[in-house]
Structure 1
Amino acid sequence: MNRATTLRFGGIPRGSARASAKRRVTVLRCAVIAGSIILLEIASRLGWIDPISFIPPSEMAWSAWQLVRAGTYQEDMLLTLSSAAVSILMATSAGFLFGLLLFKQPRLRRVLDPLLLSYYAVPIFIFYPMLIVMFGLNRWPLIVLGFLFAIVAMAVNTLNGLERVPKVLLRTARMLRMSRVQEVFLITLPASLPFVFTGIKLAIVYSFIAIIGGEFLLSGAGFGYQIAFAYNNFDNATMYGLMFLLLTFIGAVNLVLHAIEQHLYQRRVLKEFA
């Protein structure tokens, strides 16, 4: 049998034990989510929560379905998603290159370290008026806000991953006379992939936070704007329906990313023990 699937610990196949642990974690996670939803449903139905300001989760789901069927907010949804996609693409690519630059230039890293550590202490939204002057009254100021909010998370995680690349792999690349590009894509990137993938996940989350928050406070269109508009008009059904759609989408994206991440980890483990 293959070594990767037959390694044993205490007489139990290691792969089987890991798979069983993952199933238990998945079941527990689903149980926590389902229990929280049921508790909210009961609390709202019994009046433990103010029924004027909060509706049961089942009504949120029904309202979300009605909004999808009507297609009233389709343009706003696509506007937000397209803005987030551009921001994420910019942040992940520039953040990876920035992390690689910091790794290759230790002096530059020592200069920028204090700034990176305090970066998220600065409220990014204060730059919105300046971005309007630079880019105009369009979607680009929000996209740049998402980019600024996400790039440092991507760069820092890329740097952490690159620092943990085994030195023997880098020496091997030099012995084989690989070019810089070959070293990055054949050695450095695969070895640092777990940290880089964490940076990608954080970049996605931070981009959505910045863009939705910007729409909520500063924009006249988009997902966040429509949620704020419904809130200001006491339209709970629409507000919670839009929130339900947004949370469902973000949850689905996180599940997909988690599945990809687990698949990459599994392939890496199999290669190490093959």
Structure 2
Amino acid sequence: MSRAGRIRLVAVAILVLALEVACRAGWVDPVAVIAPSLMVQGAWRLLASGKYTGDMLLTLSNVAIACSLAVVSGFAGGWLLYALPRLRRAADPLLASYYAVPTFIFYPLFIVLFGLNRWPLVAIGFIFAVVAMALNTLQGFERVPRVLRRTARAMRLSTRQEMLQVVFPSCAPYLFTGLKLAIVYSFIGVIAGEFVLSGDGFGFEIAFAYNSFDNATMYGLMILLLGFVGGLNSILYSWERRLYLRRGGR
């Protein structure tokens, strides 16, 4: 672990310890926040009981579908924007203001199109994530050094060989960034949709526990969600770091 990583870890530990002391000493209203140790206990009880396993699996499957569709579609869209400059110039105003539009206004339309099932939530997660993947793919293709492309042509590589051996390794950092953003945005879209619009899933159970003043369940579910997302990002970071080390980079 780097020095900066150790400093961040110590800072987080100090903040968690301070919150624990404040909650145990009664300086914080338990109706608002409970001690971190009680949050962890609540998360463990939820896992052991298996009561929310179905909701967790439903949310994770919705996120997986939305993220997979966003990554594939976003990569294809980014490549089209790079290959067709006129299309990019036409789409620039839309892309610049895309995240200013509240995507939840499309939920009634998605219900009409897909029905009262999981697919409206998947669609919300998809439209949240797809543009982030497309923009990072576009940036990755644009940042490939011209000298690498000229070298590939000088070595008479085929189009397929050039893409696999030159272009993709060169734009891998941007593709990984797009993938990580797609995962995060998919979680945001699906969880937020479940929070206000659904009758089951991770987000719904968190909202139900909040409205019921069941802080142990609410914070326990939040700890599980944060742990899963953080673990997934750590796996992606390790994979990305290994790729950079194989390329001789940092």
Which TM-score applies when normalising by structure 2? 0.95
Q: Match for residue 221 of structure 1?
A: 200
Matching residue within 84, 90, 111 for 2:69? 90
Letter in 2 for 1:43: A
Matching residue within 34, 52, 55 for 2:34? 55
Q: Secondary structure at the match of 2:248?
A: helix
**Match status 1:238 vs 2:217:** yes
Following superposition, the deviation at residue 264 of structure 1 comes to 1.5
Letter in 2 for 1:243: M
Instruction: Render the CA deviation track for 1:226-271: whole Å, top value 9, x for unaligned.
Output: 000111111111111111111111111111111112222222226x
Letter in 1 for 2:217: T
Following superposition, the deviation at residue 153 of structure 1 comes to 0.5
Matching residue within 62, 75, 81 for 2:60? 81
Q: Secondary structure at the match of 2:116?
A: coil
Question: Where does 1:4-83 land on structure 2 (aligned, <5 Å)?
Answer: 23-83=2-62
* Greater Rg by CA: 1
Matches of 2:143 and 2:24 in 1, distance apart?
A: 52
Following superposition, the deviation at residue 28 of structure 1 comes to 1.2
Matches of 1:195 and 1:91 in 2, distance apart?
A: 15
Ranges in structure 1 where 5+ consecutive residues have no aligned partner: 1-21
Q: Match for residue 189 of structure 2?
A: 210
Matches of 1:138 and 1:176 in 2, distance apart?
A: 53
Following superposition, the deviation at residue 178 of structure 1 comes to 4.3
Letter in 1 for 2:61: S
Question: Where does 1:53-202 land on structure 2 (aligned, <5 Å)?
Answer: 53-202=32-181
Following superposition, the deviation at residue 223 of structure 1 comes to 0.3
Tell me if the contact between 2:62 and 2:122 (Cα under 8 Å) persists in the aligned partners: yes
Following superposition, the deviation at residue 148 of structure 1 comes to 0.4
The total of aligned residue pairs comes to 250
Instruction: Render the CA deviation track for 1:156-178: whole Å, top value 9, x for unaligned.
Output: 11111111101122223334554
Which TM-score applies when normalising by structure 1? 0.87
Letter in 1 for 2:230: G
CA RMSD of aligned residues (A): 1.5
Instruction: Render the CA deviation track for 1:89-131: whole Å, top value 9, x for unaligned.
Output: 1111111111111111111111111110100000111111101
Matches of 1:82 and 1:51 in 2, distance apart?
A: 33
Tell me if the contact between 2:31 and 2:213 (Cα under 8 Å) persists in the aligned partners: no
Q: Match for residue 242 of structure 2?
A: 263
Q: Indicate how the Cα distance of structure 1 residues 75 and 103 shifts in structure 2: closer, same or farther if over 3 A, else same.
A: same
Q: Indicate how the Cα distance of structure 1 residues 179 and 98 shifts in structure 2: closer, same or farther if over 3 A, else same.
A: farther
Give % identity. 57
Matches of 1:260 and 1:189 in 2, distance apart?
A: 16
Matches of 2:47 and 2:82 in 1, distance apart?
A: 46
Letter in 1 for 2:129: A
Matches of 2:162 and 2:99 in 1, distance apart?
A: 32
